């Protein structure tokens, strides 16, 4: 029996939460049943190397702008030549373009994945306007599903929640923490705080930096690691100098050793203003890190306030500072939150469950 051909279409090929999920899914789907092809709209990144290393076919369209017709025609040709059975798209631009080109190429089944609560009205409008072209939309958490029902007015029967999962085999992590501290030029007695994500308004880093002066007054040996890159780097760096916290904040840029850096952190902080279901929170939980996060999106489905982490309101640097100081002050509570978070990640969010639910959706739509 011939295998079912699935083309996974994503916007970018640099590694982020969505790309990690694509890697986890396509490398674990039953290869006797499914043949996976991954296509990225933009030029090649780490996603390409990692998937090709696992024997997965990958193509990059190299789109230069939204109206790059040669790239669109290339996608159409790939869909036709490969005789794709299912087109599974991820992130806004791939979702919309994939629906249109997929229908023109007569792909039998099209699935879109909603990874975040879309704030831009034209995104919501385009989702609703093109929804007739898609068979199902998967939502990364219940918060995203409810938000999409309310704001985009998508029919309930076209939405299904499939949560992210964590690979339990990758944890616990064993690294030489002292060596990593030396590499980053961090003093042995420093209290390391940290966050990971794009330097984008969504991540709320302005509020985290504004919280740091209060934290440093109580704990002058604290150091904040910000792992990630983006267009706000200059603005955030300037804010550090304005707040006179520049010596306590390290912008590490894009890194491949994210798990090792997170393992260094005494407290993991995610000050997002809006979210889907952040993969990085799951990783921090699996590493047994005490977490301070904002009460947005899927964070509330991952973290039970006071049990597996502390939740605060977004846009509130005072609440962030208070929660960070609270965890640093209480060593017993810090360990308890981390251990409970680790157990919760392993119990409720195994990667196998995400893969199993996705396979069930594929088979249901094919039937």
d(CA 217, CA 321): 11
d(CA 275, CA 273): 7
DSSP assignment letter at 170? G
pLDDT of residue 154: 92
CA angle 358–286–283, rounded 5-degree value: 65
H-type alpha helices, 219-350: 233-243, 258-264, 279-286, 299-302, 317-329, 331-348
Please, are residues 55 and 80 in contact by the beta-carbon 8 Å criterion? Answer: no
Query: Could you give the angle at which helices 46-53 and 17-26 cross, rounded to 10 degrees?
Result: 10
d(CA 95, CA 302): 26
Dig out the tokens for 346 from the structure: 């392993």
First to last CA, the chain: 16
182 burial (CB, 10 Å; 0-12 / 13-18 / 19+) is exposed
H-type alpha helices, 142-223: 142-151, 177-183, 205-218
Backbone angles phi, psi at 147, to 5 degrees: -65, -45
DSSP assignment letter at 328? H
Dig out the tokens for 132 from the structure: 């007739």
Neighbours of 128 (CB within 10 A): 15
The CATH-assigned architecture of domain 168-348 is 3-Layer(aba) Sandwich (3.40)
Q: Which residues of the chain have pLDDT under 70?
A: 1, 172-175
d(CA 325, CA 70): 54
Assign 3-state DSSP to the chain and report helix, strand, coil percentages, each to 5. 50, 20, 35
DSSP assignment letter at 3? P
CATH 3.40.50.2000 placement within the chain: 4-165+350-366, 168-348
Residues whose CB falls within 8 Å of the CB of residue 101, separated by 6 or more in sequence, listed in order: 72, 75, 76, 79
86 alpha-carbon distance from chain centroid:
23
pLDDT of residue 32: 93
Report the predicted TM-score, pTM, of the whole model to 2 decimal places.
Answer: 0.90
Among the listed residues 99, 110, 34, the one whose alpha carbon sits nearest the alpha carbon of residue 72: 99
Q: Output the CA torsion 354→17→325→184 (10° steps).
A: 130
- For 113, the enclosing helix (H) or strand (E) is strand 109-114
d(CA 149, CA 172): 38
Q: Hey, is 89 helix, strand or coil?
A: strand
Domain 4-165+350-366 CATH superfamily: Glycogen Phosphorylase B; (3.40.50.2000)
H-type alpha helices, 30-116: 46-53, 69-81, 92-104
Query: Could you give the angle at which helices 69-81 and 92-104 cross, rounded to 10 degrees?
Result: 60
Please, are residues 71 and 41 in contact by the beta-carbon 8 Å criterion? Answer: yes
């Amino acid at each position: 029996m011939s295998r079912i051909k699935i083309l996974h279409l994503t916007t970018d090929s640099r590694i982020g939460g969505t790309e990690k999920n694509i890697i986890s899914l396509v490398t674990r789907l039953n290869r006797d049943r499914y043949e996976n092809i991954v296509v990225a709209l933009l030029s090649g990144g780490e996603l390409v190397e990692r998937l090709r290393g696992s024997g997965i076919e990958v193509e990059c369209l190299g789109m230069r702008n939204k109206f790059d017709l040669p790239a669109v025609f290339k996608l159409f040709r790939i869909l036709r030549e490969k005789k794709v059975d299912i087109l599974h798209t991820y992130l806004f631009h791939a979702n919309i373009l994939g629906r249109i080109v997929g229908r023109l190429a007569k792909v039998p089944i099209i699935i879109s994945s909603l990874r975040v609560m879309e704030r831009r009205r034209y995104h919501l409008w385009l989702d609703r306007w093109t929804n007739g072209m898609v068979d199902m939309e998967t939502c990364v958490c219940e918060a995203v599903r409810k938000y999409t029902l309310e704001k985009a007015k998508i029919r309930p029967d076209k939405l299904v929640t499939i949560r992210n999962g964590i690979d339990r085999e990758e944890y616990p992590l064993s690294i030489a923490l002292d060596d990593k501290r030396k590499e980053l030029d961090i003093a042995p007695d420093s209290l390391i705080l940290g966050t990971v994500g794009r330097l984008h308004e969504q991540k709320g880093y302005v509020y985290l930096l504004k919280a740091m002066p209060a934290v440093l007054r109580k704990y002058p040996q604290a150091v904040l690691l910000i792992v990630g890159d983006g267009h706000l780097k200059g603005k955030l760096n300037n804010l550090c100098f304005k707040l006179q916290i520049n010596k306590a904040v390290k912008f590490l840029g894009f890194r491949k050793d994210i798990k090792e850096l997170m393992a260094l952190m005494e407290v993991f902080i995610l000050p997002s203003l809006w979210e889907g279901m952040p993969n990085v929170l799951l990783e921090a939980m699996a590493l047994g890190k005490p977490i301070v996060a904002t009460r947005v999106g899927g964070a509330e489905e991952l973290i039970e306030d006071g049990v597996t982490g502390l939740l605060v309101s977004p846009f509130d640097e005072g609440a962030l500072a208070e929660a960070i100081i609270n965890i640093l002050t209480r060593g017993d509570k810090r360990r308890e939150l981390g251990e409970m978070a680790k157990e919760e990640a392993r119990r409720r969010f195994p990667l196998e469950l995400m893969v199993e639910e996705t396979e069930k959706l594929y088979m249901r739509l094919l039937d």
